[in-house]
Structure 1
Amino acid sequence: MRDLGVGDAEALVALYEHLNPGDPPPSPAAVRAVFAHPGLRHFGRFAEGRLIASCNLAVIPNLTRGGRSYGVIENVVTEAAHRGRGHGQAVIQHALGQAWASGCYKVVLTTSRKDPAVWAFYERCGFASGDKRAFVIRAPAT
């Protein structure tokens, strides 16, 4: 397990095909901007030198809770052939450890998946589904 950098972007974008098939790839400028963003880290798990699982953690500064930050985990993905072997849980646990080490008082994770097995996976990772309610709004089509 390690932090991913701009040099891992091609492998990460390829892995994201298992998350959002057919998503257009980011521009080189977008890749550089994402990896330069303070407070945003990407973590990856490798098998035989190939990236097989990843997630990212954003640490958000905060003025509540005594000024303690909170974390947001997104883009959790494991290559289809490697699912069910603990790789996704390992990247999430690593991200959580990094969040706690950064002084976060909580970590939030959302999913658009409707599969109860996916929800159960996140609960096995320690997340509580009934603690908060998430609302999403997407940018209007242009």
Structure 2
Amino acid sequence: MRAFSIRPLAEHDLDALLGLYAQLHPTDVALPARAQVLNVWQAIRSDPKLHCLGGFVGDELAVSCLLSITPNLTRGCRPFGLIENVITRADHRRRGYGRALLLHASDIAWQHGCYKVMLQTGRKDEVTLAFYESAGFDRQTKQAFWAAAPVRAV
């Protein structure tokens, strides 16, 4: 069995990450030109408040999430964390990798002094909701609201 490890994603991990994102949003809009994708990737990787994390089984990217640390003027000026784009490759689910990654991301937030970490999911199935609860997230404490960007003519 290959070892599991977690680390920040490196420049060369982009294509593996995009492959995971294709599983996360299979009907997503097409990516822009490669140069623009690379610019966004560089912006993410160079921002100290953003932590794009990957869990690897051997050399294969199996899970990923993005942790954003947001400065804040409430709660004694303690920041908060937001986790987005949580994805586990379909063939690596139910092995504890996703939970380990979320616990790792939360630990980074705690190290940065965050007073809370949040995430949202559009999934309604009990298995997914129980998965997030197993990683320390509470679905009962707060209510999330979501607004989509308006559709703009191209």
Q: TM-score range by the shorter chain?
A: over 0.9
The equivalences for 1:1-142 within 5 A come to 1-23=6-28, 24-25=30-31, 27-142=37-152
How far 1:21 moved relative to its partner?
A: 1.0
Query: Does the 8 A contact of 2:44 with 2:52 survive in 1?
Result: no
How far 1:33 moved relative to its partner?
A: 2.1
Q: Which runs of 5+ in 2 are unaligned?
A: 1-5
Which letter does structure 1 place at the counterpart of 2:142? K
- Residue correspondences, number: 142
Q: Distance in 2 between matches of 1:84 and 1:25?
A: 29
How far 1:76 moved relative to its partner?
A: 0.8
Calculate the aligned-residue CA RMSD, in Å.
Answer: 1.2
How far 1:121 moved relative to its partner?
A: 0.7
Query: Does the 8 A contact of 1:13 with 1:25 survive in 2?
Result: no
**TM-score by structure 1 length?**
0.94
Stretch moving more, 105-114 or 3-12:
3-12
SS at match of 1:57: strand
Q: Which runs of 5+ in 1 are unaligned?
A: none
SS at match of 2:99: helix
> For 1:9-51, what per-residue CA distance to the aligned partner results, in whole angstroms no more than 9, with x for missing partners?
1111111112111432352222222222330111111112110
> For 1:53-107, what per-residue CA distance to the aligned partner results, in whole angstroms no more than 9, with x for missing partners?
0111000000100000100011111000010000100110100110101100100
Show structure 1 runs of 4+ deviating over 4 A. Answer: none
Q: Distance in 1 between matches of 2:113 and 2:125?
A: 32
Q: Distance in 1 between matches of 2:72 and 2:89?
A: 34
